[in-house]
């Protein structure tokens, strides 16, 4: 309950005070350059990595990126730069989808 309240307060603050949502609420910030680059901040770790699929852990849920010939250019504790041909970016929520 307390956690929910905190969440609510933060949401309200971000809304009213014009602060960026990703900072306030620990959401991932994703920057894509066409199909060739994707830059994700605020992730929580690598779950799976192959040249066709990358799965990242987020604070809430997971992020699934599908495409071709992936190379992780750089990886830092909270940031990742991925190169290749990106076809899909999918959010997977634990509540609804569960694990695939």
Q: Which residues of the chain form contacts with another protein (CB under 8 A)?
A: 45-51, 70-77, 81
- Looking at beta carbons only, is 10 or 37 nearer to another protein? 37
Cβ–Cβ under 8 Å, residues 56 and 46: yes
- Looking at beta carbons only, is 34 or 77 nearer to another protein? 77
Give Cα 7 to chain centroid, integer Å: 18
- Looking at beta carbons only, is 73 or 85 nearer to another protein? 73
Checking DSSP bridges between strand 37-41 and strand 29-33, what pairing results, if any?
Answer: antiparallel
Nearest approach in angstroms of CB 80 to another protein is 9
Nearest approach in angstroms of CB 83 to another protein is 9
């Amino acid at each position: 309950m307390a956690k929910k309240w905190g969440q609510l307060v933060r949401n309200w603050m971000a809304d009213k005070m014009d602060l960026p949502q990703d900072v306030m609420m620990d959401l991932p910030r994703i920057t894509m350059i066409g199909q060739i680059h994707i830059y994700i901040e605020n992730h929580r770790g690598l779950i799976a990595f192959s040249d066709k699929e990358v799965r990242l852990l987020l604070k809430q849920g997971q992020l699934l990126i599908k495409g071709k010939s992936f190379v992780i250019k750089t990886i830092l504790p909270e940031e990742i730069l991925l190169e290749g041909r990106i076809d899909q970016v999918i959010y997977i929520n634990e509540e609804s989808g569960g694990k695939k």
